[in-house]
A and B are shown apart, each in its own frame.
Chain A
Amino acid sequence: MLPSYYEFFNPVKILSGKNALDNLPYELEQLGAKRPIIVTDKGVIKAGLIQVVKSAFDSSGMVIGAIYDDVPPDSSSDVVNQIVAVYRENGCDAIVAVGGGSPIDTAKGVNIVLSENSDDLMKFEGADRLKAPMKPFIVIPTTAGTGSEVTLAAVIKNTAKNVKMAFASHLLFPKIAILDPRMTTTMPPHITAMTGMDALAHSMEAYTCLQKNPLSDAYATAAIKLIAQYLPKAVENGKDMEARMAMANAATMAGAAFSNSMVGMVHSLGHATGAICHIPHGLAMSIFLPFGLEYNLPKTEAMVAELLLPLGGEAEYVKVAAGQRAARTIVLVRKFQQTLFDLCGLPRTLKEAGVPKNKLEEIAKTAINDGTLSFNPEELDLNDALNVLNEAYS
C-alpha cells in the first residue's frame, strides 16, 4: 500500500566496482577541487588502506592537502575543530572521508563548520539547520554496514556536555561514495559480521517503520537479498571480492533506504546499549533485530512476511504458508545470527556481549528518549523496553 505522503532523497553519486578508487582525482576535479584533505583513522592506516587511496592520486597532478588520521572511534566536536584547523592551515578545498562511521560522521561535522564558516559545530545541532552550500565531499567506506556514505545525518559527541549530538540536513549528503572492494578486504570476520548485521537491521527496519515507501522498499529488499547471500561468505573468506562488493552495495542500499524511511526500536535500544555499555553498534543491531521484529509484529506482520522472499529465497517463500511467513522470517534472522556465531563467535545475546544485567533499566530509560523511537510502528514504553531487554539478555 502506498503511504498517503512520503519524501525520498538520495543525491549521492555511487562509483562501485573493482578499482573504483582510481576515479577519485577525476571526480574531485569535476567538483572543482584541487587540494583535498583526507579524514581517516588509525585503523585505516594500520590496515594499509591509505596507501591504496594515495596511489589513486599518482600521476593525477593533484595534491593531497593533508591526511588527518587521528579520528577516534567515538568522535567529538574537539576532533572536528582540530580537523577544521588543519584544513584551513593547508589551504584545502575538499573533504575525502576514508573509514567507517566515525571518520565519515566527523567529516560531515567538519563540512558543517567549514561551510557555515563558523567555529561552533553545536549551533547546528538538530534537523534542517544548515543553509550554506557545502564543500565538495567524497566518502570511501572501509566497512560495509553503517550506510553513512548515503545518509543525511551525523552523530558527534559534544565534548563539553559529554552527550552525543545529532545533525541532519539534506546538505550533509556526500557528493560521491566510492565502493571499492579493496577497501573492505582487510576487515576481520567479526567486524564484517557485525557491520553486515547493521546493514540488515537498517534494511529490515526501513521496510517496517512508519515512513516506509515504495522507493525505500526497493532499496531495502535488494539489500536484504544480497546480505542473505553474501554476508556469511564475506565472513568466511574476507578476500572473496564478489562477497565484499555485494556487501558494500548492500550496506549502501540499506543506508539509502533507512535514511529516507528511518529506523525504529532496534536502533533506539541499540543506541542506548552502545552509549551505556559501549558495545559496538553493529553487534547491538544483531542482537536486537529479531526482538524488534517480533515486538512490532501486531502492526507489521504483513511486511515482515514479505521479507521472507529476499531473506529466504523463492523456494523458502513458496514452501511456507502465507500465515506463517512473518514468524518464519524471524526464525531465519535467528538462524542467520547462529551462522555468524558459528563462523566468528558473534554474540547472540546481551549476556554474551558482556552487558551487565544491572544496566538494563538504565538502557531502557535511555532508549525511550531516543529519537528513532518516533518512527517505530508500535508504542514502546519503559516497561515494554525493559521486557525486550530482559528477553534479549539471555
Chain B
Amino acid sequence: MGKKYGPIKSGVKWFKILVAKIVFFVLGRAFQSATKHDPDIKKEISVWREGFVLIMRVLPNGPRMVLEKLNGRLKYRGAKYDDGDLVISFKNIECAFLVLTPQVGAAQAFAERRMTVKGDLGNAMIFTRCLTILLGHLYPQFICRRLVKRVAPMPLKKQMIKLVINVVGIPFGL
C-alpha cells in the first residue's frame, strides 16, 4: 500500500496567544487610566463621539482588545465587540507578538503591512499619537526610542501620571 495523504490540522501558538492576551489587558487598562489622567490623550480622543469603539485584534480569530468611549474617556471592554469604528488588525500572531512584546514600533509595523486598518484613517492617526504618549508611560526611554519616531520629554507632571497609570491604573483600572 502506498503512502497515505490527508489533511493536516494547523497547530496553536499557545504561548504567543497568551502573551498577546496579557499585553492587550495591560494596554487596555493603561489606556483606560491614561484617558483619565493624561491631558494630552484626553484632548486627542475628545473628537471621538461617545460610544466610539476601537478594536485591536489578531487575525483570523485571535485575542483582541476593545476600548469604548464612555463618559468622555476610553473604557477597556475586554473582548466585548467583534466590530467597531476603528479596527486595527494584526495579520497573524507573529506580527502581533513583535509589536506587543515590544520589538517593533506601531508605525514600522504599519509600514511593513503587518497591520491593517478598517475605518477612518484620521482616527487611526489619533490612536497612533495616543499610543505614542502611552508607550512613554509604560516603557523606559531606551525602549521607547526603538518604538516611536521621537521620544517626548518626561517632565515631573508626566512622571507623576506615569506613576499613577502603573501603580493604580493597570492593576485596578483607575
- A interface with B by C-beta (< 8 Å): 3-7, 126-129, 166, 209-211, 262, 299, 368-371, 373-379
Docked Cα-Cα span, A373 to B116, in Å, equals 16
Question: Contact at A373–B125, with CB atoms within 8 Å?
Answer: yes
- Inside 8 A of B156's CB, which chain A residues have their CB? none
Cα A126 to Cα B117 with chains together (Å): 7
**CB-CB nearest in chain B for A7:** B113
How many Å lie between the Cα of A3 and that of B112 in the bound state?
A: 9
Residue numbers in A under 8 Å from B111 (CB-CB): 209-211, 262, 374-375
Q: Which of B102-139 contact A (CB under 8 A)?
A: 107-108, 110-114, 116-119, 121-122, 124-126, 128-129, 132
Asked whether, in the complex, the Cβ of A378 is within 8 Å of the Cβ of B149, the reply is yes
The chain A residue with its CB closest to the CB of B126 is: A369
8 sample A-B contacts, Cβ–Cβ < 8 Å, listed by A number: A3-B112, A7-B112, A7-B113, A126-B118, A211-B112, A262-B111, A370-B125, A375-B110
Given contacts A5-B112, A210-B108, contact A370 B149 (CB under 8 A): no
> Which parts of B40-74 form the interface with A (CB within 8 Å)?
none
Q: Is B3 an interface residue (CB 8 A)?
A: no
Among A5, A126, A299, A371, contact of B125 (Cβ-Cβ < 8 Å):
A371
In the assembly, what is the distance between CA of A129 and CA of B117, in Å?
Answer: 10
Q: Roughly how many angstroms separate A13 CA and B112 CA in the complex, as a whole number?
A: 25
Return chain A residues, CB-CB under 8 Å to B26: none
CA of A210 to CA of B112, assembled, Å: 8
**Nearest-CB distance from B18 to chain A (Å)?**
24
Inter-subunit contact A379/B118 (CB<8 Å): no
Instruction: Give complex CA distance A203, B121 in Å.
Output: 23
Task: Report A170 CB to chain B, min CB distance, Å.
Answer: 11
Q: Confirm or deny: B34 has a beta carbon within 8 angstroms of a beta carbon on chain A.
A: no
B121 touches A371 (CB 8 A): yes
A166-B150 in contact (CB<8A): no
User: When chains A and B are docked, how far (Å) is the Cα of A5 from the Cα of B148?
Assistant: 18
A374 to B108, CA, bound (A): 8
Q: Are A378 and B150 in contact (CB under 8 A)?
A: yes
Cβ-closest chain A residue relative to B113: A7
Q: Judge whether B125 and A374 touch: CB under 8 Å.
A: yes
Please report the C-alpha to C-alpha distance between residue A369 and residue B130 in the assembled complex, in whole angstroms.
Answer: 12
Q: Are B116 and A368 in contact (CB under 8 A)?
A: no
> A residues within 8 A CB of B124?
371, 374
- For the complex, count residues of B whose C-beta is within 8 A of A: 22
Q: How far is the CA of A373 from the CA of B106 in the complex (A)?
A: 13
Q: Are B112 and A368 in contact (CB under 8 A)?
A: no
CA distance A305 to B40 in the complex (A): 37
| B112, A6: Cβ atoms closer than 8 Å | yes
Question: Which one of A3, A6, A369, A379 contacts B122 once the chains associate, using CB atoms below 8 Å?
Answer: A369
Say yes or no: A370 contacts B112, CB within 8 Å: no
- Count of A-B contacts judged by CB separation below 8 Å: 57
B149 contact from A6, A127, A211, A377, Cβ within 8 A: A377
- A159 vs B28: C-alpha distance when bound (angstroms): 36
Per the bound structure, the CA–CA distance linking A4 and B94 in Å amounts to 14
- Nearest first, the 5 closest Cβ-Cβ pairs linking A and B are A371-B121, A379-B150, A210-B111, A369-B122, A379-B149
Question: Known pairs A370-B121, A373-B125, A375-B111. 18 more at Cβ < 8 A?
Answer: A4-B112, A5-B112, A5-B114, A6-B112, A166-B121, A210-B107, A211-B111, A369-B121, A369-B122, A369-B125, A369-B126, A370-B122, A370-B125, A371-B122, A375-B110, A378-B149, A379-B132, A379-B148
How far does the alpha carbon of A262 sit from the alpha carbon of B132 in the complex, in Å?
21
Max chain A Cβ within 10 angstroms of own Cβ: one of B126, B128, B148, B150: B150
Is the CB–CB distance between B119 and A374 below 8 Å?
no
Interchain CA distance A299-B112 in the complex, whole Å: 18
Q: Which residues of A contact B108 (CB under 8 A)?
A: 210
Q: Which residue of A lies closest to B118 (CB)?
A: A126
- Complex Cα gap A128–B90 (Å): 13
Q: Does B118 lie within 8 Å of A129, measured CB to CB? A: yes
Chain B CB within 10 Å, residue with most, of A211, A374, A377: A374
Closest to A3 in B: B112
Among A128, A378, A379, contact of B116 (Cβ-Cβ < 8 Å): A128
Q: How far is the CB of A154 from chain B (nearest CB, A)?
A: 14
CA distance A110 to B126 in the complex (A): 30
Interface centre among A126, A262, A378 (most CB of B within 10 A): A126
Task: List residues of chain A with CB within 8 A of the CB of B116.
Answer: 127-128
Closest residue of chain B to A126, judged by CB?
B118
- Across-interface contacts of B113 in A (CB, < 8 A): 7, 211
Which residues of A have CB within 8 Å of B110? 374-375
Residues of B within 8 A of A374 (CB): 107, 110-111, 124-125, 128
Q: Which residue of B lies closest to A260 (CB)?
A: B113
In whole angstroms, how far apart are the Cα atoms of A129 and B108 in the complex? 22
Q: In the complex, A262 Cα to B121 Cα: how many Å?
A: 15
* A131 CB to nearest chain B CB (Å): 14
**Cβ of B68 to closest chain A Cβ, rounded Å:** 20
**Residue in B closest to A166 when the chains form the complex, CB atoms:** B121
Look across to chain B and name the residue whose beta carbon is closest to the beta carbon of A376: B149
A283 to chain B, nearest CB (A): 23
Q: Please, which residue of chain B has its CB at the minimum distance from the CB of A298?
A: B150
